[in-house]
Copies of this chain bind each other. A is one copy, B any other.
């Protein structure tokens, strides 16, 4: 099978023929990982109810969970406005990350950004005036 032409025509692929795919747990909203798909990986993902990526490091298709058991069951796939990113909502079995952590961002960790959000809901600071906290700090 090949990817539906109406979808293929909307993809804006990188020089390697890939678009990035953000994988989100459908009910909690947690962003689990980012993978990469070419047309064939996207086609399989749309048809099989299971997420398939293109592995840039191994240069092969990789259906998530076939080896690890950490299957991603597809709930929905959306394309963004300019065709270069996909949002795949899934039901993740076990850990999404090869390190055993639930998400790859838990595994990589927080970078200690200055928090720019208003300290009180609904009250925004002026642009260019970052807040005083750091991520992880009590935001009262």
Interface residues of A (CB under 8 A from B): 7, 10, 14-15, 20, 22, 24, 26, 28-31, 33-34, 45-50, 65-66, 71, 73-85, 87, 90-91, 93, 97-99, 101, 104-118, 124-125, 127-131, 135-136, 139
Contacts and interface: CB of A to CB of B under 8 A. Distances in A.
Given A50-B130, A117-B74, A82 B111 contact: no
Nearest to A85: B34
Question: How often does this chain occur in the complex, in copies?
Answer: 2
Given A74-B115, A75-B117, A78-B111, A20 B34 contact: yes
A130 B49 CA distance: 5
A97 B73 contact: no
